Structure 1
């Protein structure tokens, strides 16, 4: 999500303040202190989506941390460089930086840092089409997050792992991951993740033919996406919900969902989906349901 104009103004102001604080620190501070100041600056540029500037400051920070022999700082800077490379679609370079960062985080016994880094390696592998390697890294990160009891990160990884299984057609293993994720998401404060969890679980149940089980999850996804005004995903959830209602022979409920999703597809200019829904509604009209 791109920062709003108001957010950009706040970030720009924070960058100026950080640059002002960094100037005297370069003279009086230790290499580690300068490195931390540069990492903070790099992170701010990253929030502003100026990834070139972010990379420059991470690289300089890494040099200061190396001079200081500060391995946790080196890990932090290398992780940041990996994130930057991933933004530039250099996933191979991102993985190289992050693999070294993960080892350094491990040496420092920073499980959260190591877990996040391994999860990001998984993201880059996934972007490269290496699904098995991505799942392996997600699993490694999941083990670490279980140890730190970071339920929010656990839930997101469970969704990622389940999504990979769905892509392979392994619906039952995917369903088990989603079933574990949804209660964790219900405890959290991330409505996007919660809606996605219910949507994916509903889709997995539907693909397994468990339409009674699918229906409440898809209805929950519709409600949350409606509150978020995310019409792309609300439309997807409504279409799936309509299908579940149809297979349960609740034709009135199915028709209600298809009639609701039609203007969404029209607004989104998804012409193939519009045609598909119109055909379904014509089928209903011909049968008098």
Structure 2
């Protein structure tokens, strides 16, 4: 998600304060304290998408943490370096750094840190097209996040695993994962992941031919994305819901969704999709719907 001008200005102000604090810390602090200051600086650069500067600070922090023999700090720096490499599409390099971080987190018995590393390795493997390896890493991370009771991460990983299975055409097993994630997300307060889960679950049902079962999930996704003012995903959900209504032979309901999705496509400059919707609406009009 891109930053607003206000958010960017706030981060830049915080960045300058951190630079000033670090300048003093270099004279008064221990290698471990300076390393922690560098980590904070690197993270702020990362938020501004200045990944080259971020990587530079992570590298210096790693050197200091090695001097201090501070394993947790080394793991944090290695993880940061891996994330920075992934931003440059160097996923193989990213995996190497983050695997080292995971091993260190395992040594210090930090399950949360280790789980995060395994999940990130899964993301890089997926980016490289190794979906089987990615799912394996996601499953490893899932076990650890369940142990730490991090329900937000558990739900996110369940959706990632379900998405991989959708890509493989295994819609039934994908649906199982989405349903499991839904039971967690419905207890939470974050509308965005809930909206995505409802959308994915509705799409899985639709691809299995269960169009009536898909409709309530897609309708919920439409309503949530409309509240979030996310017109890209709202359009996707409305199109899917329109198709589900069409296949259920509820043509008036299908027309409602298609009429609603048309201005969204036009707003986004998606001329081909808009033309397709106009053709369907013209067919409905000709058929008296």
The TM-score with structure 1 as length reference comes to 0.97
2:282 matched to which residue of 1?
Answer: 282
Distance 1:40 1:28 in 2: 17
CA deviation profile, 1:66-123 (whole Å, cap 9, x unmatched): 0011111100000000010011111111110000000001111111111111111111
Asked whether 1:87 is paired with 2:75, we answer: no
Distance 1:16 1:24 in 2: 13
2:173 matched to which residue of 1?
Answer: 173
Instruction: Give the alignment's Cα RMSD to 1 decimal.
Output: 1.1
Paired residue secondary structure (1:269): coil
Displacement, 1:225? 0.6
Distance 2:270 2:4 in 1: 27
The TM-score with structure 2 as length reference comes to 0.97
1:207 matched to which residue of 2?
Answer: 207
Distance 1:100 1:90 in 2: 16
Structure 2, unaligned runs of 5 or more: none
Distance 2:188 2:110 in 1: 23
Moved over 6 A (4+): none
Displacement, 1:180? 0.5
Displacement, 1:209? 1.5
Paired residue secondary structure (2:186): helix
1:111 matched to which residue of 2?
Answer: 111
Trace 1:24-173 onto structure 2 (pairs within 5 A): 24-173=24-173
Displacement, 1:52? 1.0
Distance 2:282 2:4 in 1: 43
Displacement, 1:152? 0.4
Asked whether 1:196 is paired with 2:196, we answer: yes
Structure 1, unaligned runs of 5 or more: none
CA deviation profile, 1:129-183 (whole Å, cap 9, x unmatched): 1111111111111111110111101111111110110011000000000000112
CA deviation profile, 1:171-196 (whole Å, cap 9, x unmatched): 00000000001121122233221111
CA deviation profile, 1:21-66 (whole Å, cap 9, x unmatched): 2122222222111111111111111111111111111000000000
